Amino acid sequence: MDDLDGAVLAARGLRYEYDGGACALDGLDLTVRAGLRHALVGANGAGKTTLFLHLNGTLRPRSGTVFVDGRPGDYTRAGLSAWRQVVGLVFQNPDDQLFAGSVAQDVSFGPFNLGLSTGETRARVTAALEALEISHLGERPTHMLSFGQKKRVSIAGAVAMRPRVLIIDEPLSGLDPRGADQFLGVLRDLHASGTTVVIATHDMALAYEWADRVSIVKEGRILASGAPDDVMTDAAMLEDCGLRRPWVLDLDAALRTAGLLPEGRGPLRSRDEVIAAVAALRRGSAAAVESRR
């Protein structure tokens, strides 16, 4: 077996087809290293959700192996329970995650079933609801919430479990801009506290700015994995996968072509870096005008 050192999760040669369906995973290999922020990008139907369902043991591959901390996944009842304490999964659609009951009941279900004391469970639920700014919804039935509110509840439920690896399928879909910012703040805190975070997203700019490592999924396989600058710059390859280069890199290329970015400056990564670079340009041209006087 190849090197699984430092891999909290790994998939080797995963194959899966749904009953009566086409091949969803076609010999997929993936390594998730502990403590990293890892983003999966890929077109609709590429296999991201199917892969995630394998990474917490919900689906079992027809062939191939999922490794948790270097050991093959254990699909017994006790094994799956232990697996899900290590790996938390937030579903793409919150309706697949939430069950009837109030928001507070839903979020407390996982921690309570870990065997935590009532006090510890309550503390975790309170903290998770606060982090997602949904404390005021605690007593509401989950089916009487908007889509984005449900999404926040499902994320809070996973956060309250404090898994070592948190996998989130399409985290920002359905969140309003403020919800998205809060959520990114939650991810920052989780990462700072040592949680490995894996997301699937169609937001290329988010993957580029946020991730330490990006994997490109195409037709049930990983086409490329690496640092964002290594795998997200090839516009033709991304196009071929039904993806697009992050807008910030298109802007970076246009500014360089126009000679407006200093030689040797690394690529622009984020909206804030673009704003700072444009402000520096203005300062630079003001200084040039001044020196010509």
Ligand X SMILES: Nc1ncnc2c1ncn2[C@@H]1O[C@H](COP(=O)(O)OP(=O)(O)OP(=O)(O)O)[C@@H](O)[C@H]1O
Q: Give the interface with ligand X as residue ranges (CB under 6 A).
A: 18, 21-22, 24, 42, 44-50, 92
**Segment contacting Mg ion (CB under 5 A): 35-43, 86-94, 106-114, 132-140?**
86-94
**Segment contacting Mg ion (CB under 5 A): 28-36, 46-54, 79-87, 208-216?**
46-54
Task: Please report how close the Cβ of residue 110 comes to Mg ion at its closest, in angstroms.
Answer: 22
Q: List, as one string, the DSSP characters of 187-250.
A: HHHHHHTT-EEEEE-S-HHHHHHH-SEEEEEETTEEEEEE-HHHHS--HHHHHHTT----HHHH
**Segment contacting Mg ion (CB under 5 A): 41-49, 63-71, 100-108, 245-253?**
41-49
CB atoms within 10 A of CB 145: 18
- Helix 147-160 vs helix 118-131: crossing angle, to nearest 10: 140
Q: Decide if residue 201 touches Mg ion (CB under 5 A).
A: no
- Helix 147-160 vs helix 177-192: crossing angle, to nearest 10: 10
Task: Please report how close the Cβ of residue 51 comes to ligand X at its closest, in angstroms.
Answer: 7
- Selection from ligand X, Mg ion, none that 22 binds (CB < 5 to 8 A by kind) is ligand X
Residues 268 and 208: their CA atoms lie apart, in Å, by: 10
Closest to ligand X by CB, 21 or 264: 21
Closest to Mg ion by CB, 101 or 148: 148
- Selection from ligand X, Mg ion, none that 14 binds (CB < 5 to 8 A by kind) is none
Task: Please report how close the Cβ of residue 50 comes to Mg ion at its closest, in angstroms.
Answer: 8
Residues 5 and 3: their CA atoms lie apart, in Å, by: 6
Closest to Mg ion by CB, 124 or 151: 151
Closest to ligand X by CB, 43 or 82: 43
Contact of 6 with 36, CB cutoff 8 Å = no
Task: Please report how close the Cβ of residue 81 comes to ligand X at its closest, in angstroms.
Answer: 24
Residues 275 and 283: their CA atoms lie apart, in Å, by: 12
CB atoms within 10 A of CB 235: 14
- Selection from Mg ion, ligand X, none that 45 binds (CB < 5 to 8 A by kind) is ligand X
Start-to-end C-alpha separation, the chain: 69
Closest to ligand X by CB, 92 or 121: 92
Q: Decide if residue 49 touches Mg ion (CB under 5 A).
A: yes
* Tokens standing for residue 57: 């043991």
Task: Please report how close the Cβ of residue 44 comes to Mg ion at its closest, in angstroms.
Answer: 8
Question: Helix, strand, or coil here: 172?
Answer: coil
Closest to ligand X by CB, 47 or 246: 47
Helices (H), ranges, 87-176: 103-113, 118-131, 147-160
Residues 92-111 that bind Mg ion (CB under 5 A): 92
> Can you give the binding site for Mg ion, defined by CB under 5 A?
48-49, 92
